[in-house]
Structure formats: structure tokens, C-alpha cells
Amino acid sequence: MRRKEKERDEAFAWKTLDESDFATLSMCDGSVPYAVPVSPARIGKNIYFHCALEGKKLDVLQKNDRVQLTCVTGVDPIPQRYTTKYASAMFFGTARLVEDDETKISALRAICEKYAKSNMQGFDDAIARSLARTGVVEITPDEITAKAKEQ
């Protein structure tokens, strides 16, 4: 990282992911970059997001499982200084479609606890209705970076 004073540790990266409202998943479709917003959550050091069971995202991942996930939090422009406060984290790794229902349900529970915590009483019914038609992708990071500008 060029600006070492902005570099943060892995714990900071995980905290940024945990606090992010969304992340951008970047992939490579041949020689063409492809990036989409996702709603990630994690269990331990694996990151999950849900998706349809068909579509471009999965088509690209089947050809090339290398991905990069970027999250940004705490964005606060400071116009009088021509700068912005922020925290960011990038997770590089491999992605795979989760096949087993137990892992899918655990991942979907983690996602719902992050994004729909006030409605968890309906989780089991939602799983019963939609598990078979819901995809879950697991990202296993092998490189993690984070940085922040705090003033």
C-alpha cells in the first residue's frame, strides 16, 4: 500500500465488512471486468452473499472463481478540505456456490441477522418457502487489506 499511514490491520477490515451496508463484488469475465453490489455477511473468516441460481454473476464465477470484494463505511466528505473521511476493506479470494443446505441456511441466517434483524421471527418460514430457489456464494479470502482516512 502506497500510503502506509492509512493502512489498517485485518481486524479493522473485518469490522468494516461487518458494518458495511453493501459491498462491490468484482470479477473478471474473460478480459472484461464485471462488478456488482452484494449484501455480504460472514461466519468466521468466510464471507457469504445470496443470489439467484442463474444469471451473469454465476456464469462469470463458473469460468473464473477469483474475486475481490470491496466495502466502504464511514464516508464523510469534508468539502472545505477537499477530502473525505472513510474506512475501506478489500478481500481477495475464491468464490464458490454453496451446495449443502446446512451451510446455505447458516449463511442466510447470518445475512438476515445483519440486514433484517428485526424480522428474524419469520426466518424459518422464509427458508421453507425459498431455500430451493436461493443461491448462496461463499468467498474464502486469501488476502485482506484495509485503510482509512480519519481526518
Would you state the pLDDT for residue 138?
A: 99
Full-model pTM: 0.92
User: Which domains, and CATH codes, for the chain?
Assistant: 4-143 (2.30.110.10)
Would you state the pLDDT for residue 40?
A: 98
Residue 73, C-beta contacts closer than 8 angstroms, at least 6 positions apart? 16, 19, 20, 21, 86, 87, 88
CA separation for the pair 120, 40 (Å, rounded): 17
Average pLDDT over residues 2-23: 86
Query: Per-residue pLDDT for 82 more than 80?
Result: yes
Would you state the pLDDT for residue 8?
A: 80
Q: Which residues pair with 140 in a beta bridge?
A: 94
CA separation for the pair 92, 96 (Å, rounded): 13
Would you state the pLDDT for residue 151?
A: 72
Grid-cell match 479470502, residue found:
141
Query: Per-residue pLDDT for 1 more than 60?
Result: no
